[in-house]
Each structure stands twice: as structure tokens, then as C-alpha cells.
Structure 1
Amino acid sequence: MASEAQQGGLTEYIQHHLTHLSPHVSAGGFWSVHLDSLAVSLVLGVLFVLWFWATARKATAGVPGKTQAFIELVVEFVDGQVKDVFHGDRRFLAPLALTVFVWVFLMNAMDLLPVDLLPWILGKFGVGHFRAVPTADVNMTFAMSLTVLVLVIFYSFKAKGVGGYLHELFTAPFGAFPLLWPFNFALNLVELAAKPVSLAMRLFGNMYAGELVFMLIAGLLGAGSWALFGLGVIGYTAWGIFHILIISIQAFIFMVLTVVYISMAHDHH
């Protein structure tokens, strides 16, 4: 709770809230299993699918209801973005982009919940640590970006063939001269590695910073001063309103870059 900031200091309060729920055998480190991130992302993914499925079942050809109109707006927006970037068959890429955009947005939006709400509720059931924002977990953002990398490699082979893609790896961008093959291959590997790193770190950095700001403001609320409490309420409200823009932009960027990277996989050099 925010009162922890008064009892144990702001640093201890923040450290407590930055600790993930993990099994003891794998707690800590890049390869650790963060049960809170997995649980929240899974629940949000299921809710997203059920919401769109239920709306699709009730969809009408006449005047749509508010929910149907909103979902149609989102679908048309995402499809328009895909159409502008990718000029091939969009039957897989458009649903993928929609899934990425909505799912990442929902995970980002967990940052708008009061910092202590979910930890306090789950604390009643004996859960000591719980972070509610999966995209503020570098393990989660890298998992998503590595999935995108797998799709990029898959579509590179599919669009160019095994021989064509391997030929491109060794001959672009400096040409097919044999002495340049190692340099071409090294540069292409760096380019491939940079894609998941840029995807993961951009989303993680923005969401981690936003979560940290909320924790700092929450610390003011429990500092024991009415002046700081009032400042904290104003700050929390202002940052929350501004953060709506951040979570939307980050979901949009992750979606667009996913489409761009897969579209680039279809290009021949």
C-alpha cells in the first residue's frame, strides 16, 4: 500500500512493487518465469478474444450499436495501416496486426490502474508480489518481439525460397563477390537482431518508466503530509491522462513495426 512509503521509505516501497511474482527456483534473471506477467497477459488475451467474438456474433448489417461501431472503427483503422505498408495478401497479416495492437494496448492500459490495487487484493490471498503491467516486464516484451522475428524469418523463406533468402543473406548489400560474403552475412545478422531488440526495448522502456512515475507519485500519497497528498492526487490524475496517449502510441508503434518488418521480408534485394 502507499502507506508503505511512509513506514519503510520510498525506495523500499518501489523495490517491493518492482518485484515480480516468480517461483523460487527461477526467481530473478532474464530467463526467470514471471507468473504475474503471464497471468495478466493471458487473462487480457482471453478477454480480448471473447469480447470480439461476442460482438461479431451479435453484429448486424443495419445501424450498429456502440460496441460494434467501436470495434469496426478499430478493425478499419488497423486494416488501413496494413494496406498502406503491405501490398500483398493481408488475410494473415491484418488479423495479426489487429491482435498485436489491441493486446498490447490492453496490457499497457493496466498501468492506469492504481499502483496498489491488484497487489492489495492478491495480498489478501497470500500473494506477496504482483506487477500488473506485462509490458513493463522485459521478458514479456522480448517474448513478443522474438515471435515477430520468427515470423520475419519464416516469411523471408516463404517469399524468396530457401536458396533465394540464403543468397540474399550472403550477397546483400555489398554484392556477390566471395570475399564480401562474411561481411554481408554479419551485417544481415545484425539487422535481424536489431529488429526484436528495438521492438522489445522501446515498449519496455516506455512502460517501465511510466510505471515508475506512478509509483513515485503513489509514494507522495502516503508520505504523511496533506500538502504532498494533494500534490500526489493532482500529479496522479495529470500523469494518468497523459499516459493514455503513451500507451496508445506504444501499441500503435509495436503494431506498425511488426507489419513493416514482415513486409520487408517480402522485398527482394
Structure 2
Amino acid sequence: MTTEHVGHEAPTNIEYIQHHLSHLKSADGMFNLDTFWVSAILGLIFLGVFYMASRRATAGVPGKLQNFVEAVMELVNDVVNSAFHAKSKVIAPLAITIFCWVWLMNAMDFLPVDLLPKLLSFAGVHKLRVVPTADVNHTFGMSFGVMLCIIGFSIKAKGLGGWGKELLTAPFHAHGFMAIILAPINLAFQLIELLAKPLSLSLRLFGNMYAGELLFILIALLPWWAQWLLGGPWVIFHILVVTLQAFVFMALTVVYLAIAVEKH
């Protein structure tokens, strides 16, 4: 992991950090193209691997790929079965997709800091951040999708009228005139709870992955022997962080959806 050169002079440490924390943006500056393309490619890789495993699945002695996919599915199914007690054909595939996709995006942190930016620099691309989950826009986007799922699951389980009634009557259940007085307060609490769930999901994932990315960049500034001395143990520890954050995002999504279908 070596530092890049801007022009003919080596960048300062601050310039190096700023460069690696800068996104490849669209022409109008509104979209982070690196986040979009890396996450899209990893999503296609996930779909391709699982599709290949399904095509090669056998009732006899399974291969390594089938064993791996079945282990992942068993892990996710255990979480779903323990937390989500309603009937749904969507929840298990959704949970598996979230866990695998988030894990792949987190795992981009394992690549050497300068590897992909250096390779793409030959094609004229001079800015690239390869960890989509270290982009708060992406984590907010995923958590916004979770929030839409929460609303959708709740409406499907309780009906539009039942969901609307719950917004006005929970958590303070009252009757008569008091129900009317407490309705705005109940609505405020319900909206706060609804927004807090995706907000916590996105910030937890973003904070952990951004910190990991920044630490790898700082390690890359050290002499080569210090990079191996400090980088090796951190990579081993980061494997746990990457996996745990993917699991937490998936598990909390399942829990939030389970709460959404319960009647209060």
C-alpha cells in the first residue's frame, strides 16, 4: 500500500487522506458514482453466486458452494424464525439479500487502499471510494427502504385503517374525549419511532465502516513494515466488524418488521 502522487510531487498526509475520502461524482455533483457502481456490481455478484448455487444444487453430496450458501441461509433463517412469527414469503429472501449484500459492501474494506484507485487512474478515473457502506447517502438509502418495508408490512397486516388508527391511539391507549386529546401526542411518538429505526440503522453501519476505512487510510501512510505490523491484526479484527455489522443490519430489520406486523 503506497501513497499516490499528484503531479510530480508526493501529496502531504492531509492531501492523501482528503483524496481517498473524495467521491467520484456525476457531472452535476449530485450523485456519488463510485458508491452506485460498486454497490450495483456487488449486488450482481451476490445474485450470480446464489443463482449458480441454485442451479448446481443437488440432493446428494453437496459441493463447497452449496455448503456455503446453505450455511448462510441457515444462519439467516434462524434469525427470521426466532424473531418473525407471522407468515411471509418475503421476509427470508429479504433478510438473506440484506445480509449478503451488506457483507460484500463492507468487505471492500479488505482491499489495499490504493489498489482500485491506482488501477482506475490508468483509465482517467482519479477519485474512487470502494466501500459503499462508508457513504452515509447509501446507508440512508438502504434504511429508507427498510422504513418503506415497515410501513408496507404494517399496512398489509393491519389494513390501512388499522395502521392509521394505531398511529393515533398507541402508545397511550385512551377512550372518549381523552383519546381525541392524546391523538396528536400518540402520532408524534409514532412518527419519532418510525424515523428513529432507519436513522439508527444507517448511522450505526455508516459510523463503523467509515471509521474502519479511515483507519486503513491512516495505516497506509505508515512505512511498509508498520503497515504489515498494524494492518494485519486490524484486518483480522475487521473481519468480525464487517460480519457483525451486516448481521446487525439484517437482524434489526427483521425485528423491526416483526414489530410492524404486531397489533398494539
TM norm structure 1 = 0.93
**Secondary structure at the residue paired with 2:221?**
helix
1:23 aligned to which of 20, 23, 26? 26
Partner of 2:260: 265
On the 8 A contact 2:3/2:220 being kept in 1, the answer is no
**1:45 maps onto 2:48 in alignment:** no
For the 8 Å contact 2:2–2:221, the answer to whether it is kept is yes
Find the residue that maps to 1:72 and give its secondary structure.
helix
Q: Is the 8 A contact 2:4 2:114 kept in 1?
A: no
**1:50-69 correspondence to structure 2 within 5 Å:** 50-69=48-67
Query: Which whole-Å CA distance do the structure 2 matches of 1:73 and 1:184 have between them?
Result: 43
Please tell me whether residue 150 in structure 1 is matched to residue 125 in structure 2.
no
Aligned residues: 257
Residue from 139, 142, 147 that aligns with 1:141 = 139
SS at match of 1:128: coil
Other-structure match for 2:119: 121
Match of 1:92 in 2: 90
SS across alignment from 1:23: coil
Indicate the residue corresponding to 1:194 in structure 2: 196
- 2:11 alignment partner AA: G
**Which residue of 2 is the match for residue 81 of structure 1?**
79
Alpha-carbon shift at residue 88 of structure 1 (Å): 1.6
**Does residue 255 of structure 2 align to residue 251 of structure 1?**
no
**1:67-96, Cα deviation, whole Å (9 max, x unpaired):** 111111111111111000011224210000
- Structure 2: gaps (5+ residues): none
**Identical amino acids, percent of aligned pairs:** 53
Q: 1:217-236 to 2 correspondence within 5 Å?
A: 217-221=219-223, 229-236=224-231
Describe the SS at the equivalent of 2:133. Answer: helix
Residues in 2 aligned to 1:137 and 1:3: alpha-carbon distance in whole angstroms: 22
TM-score w.r.t. the length of structure 2 is 0.95
Flag as ranges the 4+ runs of structure 1 deviating above 6 A.
none
C-alpha separation between the residues in 1 aligned to 2:87 and 2:157?
12
Per-residue displacement from partner, 1:147-172 (whole Å, max 9, x unpaired)? 00001001111111111111110111
- What is the distance in 1 between the residues matched to 2:88 and 2:101? 19
Describe the SS at the equivalent of 1:193: helix
CA distance in 1, matches of 2:54, 2:26: 39
Aligned twin of 2:130 = 132
Let me know the Cα RMSD of the aligned residues: 1.3
